[in-house]
């Protein structure tokens, strides 16, 4: 069979119409050329990989993501109702025995059960034959914690301990608060949330999916401890400075409620952590086969609002006396929900709690700064829910000192990612930013923080940006220059408040170094003292941590004990003023503006007491009249003693 070499190129086709002597003459040479070309082409084809131009990793990732999408093709607007056909029967404490006791963390005493308890509860042989005090068990636990190599490992040990022995966990935390609070909450909790679906071993909260939105009341009733006093609820849409973590954000309510107990003594059985699972915009979570939340895009704000309305209605039905604290909702929703439910028994710690703790620190800082109130000017780097919430709280500091609302507002300049927030900037401002948008800039726009500082010449700089290092050396030195220009003896106020440490606007050492030790410093995350040596003198500077734990536990405790119908703005302001007045003489000599963290429970009692008194004055306390009459007769001593009797203090 003859074989032919040919080309499909039109320039090389020979047809009767195109035949000519010259083409006949050249046919032999053309055929030789074509044969050589085909030989080369065949060699190329034999080594050609048709998939070489395709990114197979991307294809594989897309296929895995498609396989994980279990809701593809289903209607997303139909919701069934969970029908439960029996109630859960729990063994009462007085009749529990053996492992029923040991496996219930609220009843377990470990090796501290008395000989009589071991006999009456059938524990003989189930625990080592040794009788230990709670203090000895704490020593063992601290040795275990200190043997762990990473903060995550330490957190996991503490989490396991809490699930085994509630009293031991909280005794340990109360007695070692400075060391353990950063493990139970920020900064460690941020890393825990990022890995929550991988680290998960046991449930610690209520997980309410929007897929079961018609059954919220049923889910609430499934919580094993009756009549909780306080719930911390999040939808995971803005966790710390980490963004949308979806259901992984449940670590925040869990950690926060541990602080309500450790820092204020609210009984652990009266706390309820909740995550509302509305999906997530986090692509990494959606691709993670271990992700524990709904594997779908976050629902629209309109649908989320409907879901929140249903949640709040269910709370009112099932637990009408429970205080609800909103936590880590994205900015627009945070303000919207706070305004929408302000007549309910709720508050938002990101907005009001952060504002109050910063206000308390600012009150102390103003006293130390040497700058008169009329000369104070504040620049806020960050105009989200926390930034605007803090600015509103600090603004009240000035209105309560005789300034009009407009005069107080004029002391604030807010900066976001686009620069100074002004009415004529040309972009569409979020609703919550409009209150502080400047109108006196004469058409000039300032796009950088440095430019704003040069223009404003502030006395205080507050950071709530969740952007590490945004307070550069040039920024901090410019702040000092603007303060120094006002006269001798003046000190700049510098508050880099973002959490966790990896998001801090600057460090304590940088602040001290760049201001020659004059800065009045408060941060959101913990820093160690900083010591400088100059010739023969040694100076140690002590940082302040403007941690919300100084406010929300006491505020919550006061609202619960006063049996308030809602949380008023005055109650929040009072919590700040009470905290500012908590410092003892030693702390004042150290230059602190917050009490030492070891005294956080003392501070919470004072905050709770003043919040209760404000609730009484505002008419939102439902405590019996005769109770208030007694306290009003005997004063703070009687009320303080009563509060201390109500709080949880684990001892055996």
Catalogue the active-site residues: 185, 256
Cβ of 314: how many Cβ atoms within 10 Å? Answer: 19
- Nearest alpha-carbon partner for 459 in 379, 516, 396: 379
**Are 519 and 494 in contact, with CB atoms under 8 Å apart?**
yes
280, 294 contact by CB (below 8 A): yes
Which residue in the block uniquely carries the two structure tokens 């303000």? 335
Beta-carbon contacts of residue 377 (< 8 Å; ≥ 6 apart) = 411, 413, 456, 457, 458, 459, 460
Q: 234: closest CA among 268, 196, 265, 178?
A: 196
End-to-end Cα separation, the chain, in angstroms: 102
* Pairwise CA distance, residues 59 & 52, whole Å: 13
How far apart are alpha carbons 142 and 382 in whole angstroms? 39
Name the 3-class secondary structure at 465.
coil
Residue appearing with tokens 């400088």: 532
What phi and psi, each to the nearest 5 degrees, are found at residue 533? Answer: -120, 130
Rg (CA), the chain: 32
Q: In b/e form, how buried is each residue of 376-397, taking b as 16+ CB within 10 angstroms?
A: bbbbbbbbbbbbbbbbbbbbbb
φ, ψ of residue 213 in degrees (nearest 5): -65, -20
Cα four-point dihedral sign 436, 437, 442, 447? positive
d(C-alpha 401, C-alpha 405), whole Å: 11
**Strand partners of residue 173:** none
How many separate helices (H) and strands (E) can be counted in the chain? 27, 14
Q: How many Cβ atoms sit within 10 Å of the Cβ of residue 33?
A: 14
Count of Cβ atoms closer than 10 Å to residue 300 Cβ: 10
CA distance 211 to 82: 10
Give 68's contacts (C-beta < 8 A, 6+ positions apart): 286, 287, 289, 295
Task: Report d(CA 266, CA 259) in Å as an integer.
Answer: 9
Q: Which two tokens stand for residue 644?
A: 């201390």
Which residue, 14, 31, 32, is CA-closest to 23?
14
Residue 161, classed as helix, strand or coil, is helix
DSSP per-residue string spanning 401-415 = TT--HHHHHTTEEEE
Strands 520-523 and 530-534, how do they pair? Answer: unpaired
Q: Are the C-beta atoms of residues 580 and 613 closer than 8 Å to each other?
A: no
Q: How far apart are CA 279 and CA 297, in angstroms?
A: 5
């Amino acid at each position: 069979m003859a074989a032919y070499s040919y080309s499909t190129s039109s320039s090389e086709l020979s047809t009767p119409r195109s035949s000519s002597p010259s083409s006949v003459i050249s046919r032999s040479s053309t055929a030789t050329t074509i044969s050589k070309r085909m030989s080369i082409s065949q060699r190329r084809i034999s080594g050609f990989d048709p998939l070489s131009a395709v990114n197979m990793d991307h294809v594989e990732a897309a296929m895995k993501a498609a396989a994980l999408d279990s809701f593809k093709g289903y209607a997303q607007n139909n919701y069934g109702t969970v029908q439960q056909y029996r109630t859960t029967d729990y063994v009462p404490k007085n009749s529990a025995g053996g492992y029923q006791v040991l496996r219930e963390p609220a009843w377990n005493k470990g090796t501290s059960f008395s000989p009589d308890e071991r006999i009456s509860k059938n524990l003989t042989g189930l625990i080592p034959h040794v009788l230990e005090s709670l203090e000895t068990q704490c020593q063992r636990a601290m040795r275990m914690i200190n043997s762990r190599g990473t903060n995550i490992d330490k957190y996991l040990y503490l989490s396991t301990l809490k699930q085994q022995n509630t009293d031991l966990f909280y005794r340990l935390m109360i007695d070692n608060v400075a060391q353990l609070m950063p493990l139970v909450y920020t900064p460690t909790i941020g890393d825990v949330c990022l890995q929550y679906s991988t680290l998960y071993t046991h449930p610690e909260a209520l997980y309410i999916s929007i897929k079961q939105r018609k059954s919220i009341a049923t889910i609430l009733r499934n919580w094993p401890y009756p009549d909780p006093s306080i719930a911390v609820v999040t939808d995971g849409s803005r966790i710390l400075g980490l963004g949308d973590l979806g259901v992984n954000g449940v670590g925040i309510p869990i950690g926060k409620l541990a602080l309500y107990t450790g820092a204020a003594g609210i009984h652990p059985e009266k706390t309820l952590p909740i995550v509302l699972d509305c999906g997530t915009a986090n692509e990494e979570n959606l691709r993670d086969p271990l992700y524990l939340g709904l594997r779908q895009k976050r629902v629209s704000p309109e649908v989320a609002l409907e879901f929140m309305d249903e949640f709040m209605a269910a709370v009112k039905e099932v637990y009408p006396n429970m205080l609800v604290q909103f936590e880590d909702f994205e900015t627009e929703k945070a303000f919207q929900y706070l305004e929408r439910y302000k007549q309910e028994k709720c508050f938002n710690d990101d907005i009001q709690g952060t504002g109050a703790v910063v206000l308390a620190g600012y009150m102390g800082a103003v006293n130390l700064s040497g700058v008169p109130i009329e000369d104070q000017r504040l620049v806020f780097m960050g105009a989200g829910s926390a930034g605007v919430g803090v600015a509103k709280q600090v603004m009240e500091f000035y209105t309560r000192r005789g300034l009009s609302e407009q005069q107080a507002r004029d002391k604030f300049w807010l900066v976001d990612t686009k620069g100074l927030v002004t009415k004529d900037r040309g972009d569409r401002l979020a609703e919550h930013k409009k209150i502080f948008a400047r109108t006196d800039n004469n058409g000039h726009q300032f796009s950088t923080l440095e430019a704003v500082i040069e223009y404003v010449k502030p006395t205080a700089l507050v950071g709530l940006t969740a952007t590490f290092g945004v307070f550069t050396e040039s920024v901090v030195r410019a702040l000092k220059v603007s303060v120094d220009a006002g006269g001798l003896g003046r000190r700049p106020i510098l508050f880099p408040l973002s959490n966790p440490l990896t998001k801090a606007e600057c460090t304590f050492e940088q602040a001290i170094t760049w201001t020659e030790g004059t800065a009045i410093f408060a941060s959101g995350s913990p820093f160690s003292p900083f010591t400088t040596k100059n010739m023969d003198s040694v100076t140690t500077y002590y940082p302040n941590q403007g941690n919300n734990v100084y406010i929300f536990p006491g505020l919550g405790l006061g609202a619960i004990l006063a049996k308030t119908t809602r949380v008023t703005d005055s109650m929040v302001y009072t919590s700040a003023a009470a905290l500012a007045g908590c410092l003892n003489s030693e702390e004042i000599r150290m230059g602190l503006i917050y009490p030492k963290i070891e005294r956080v429970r003392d501070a919470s009692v004072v905050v709770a007491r003043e919040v209760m008194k404000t609730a009484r004055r505002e008419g939102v306390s439902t405590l019996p009249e005769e109770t208030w009459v007694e306290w009003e007769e005997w004063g703070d001593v009687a009320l303080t003693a009563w509060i201390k009797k109500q709080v949880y203090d684990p001892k055996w």
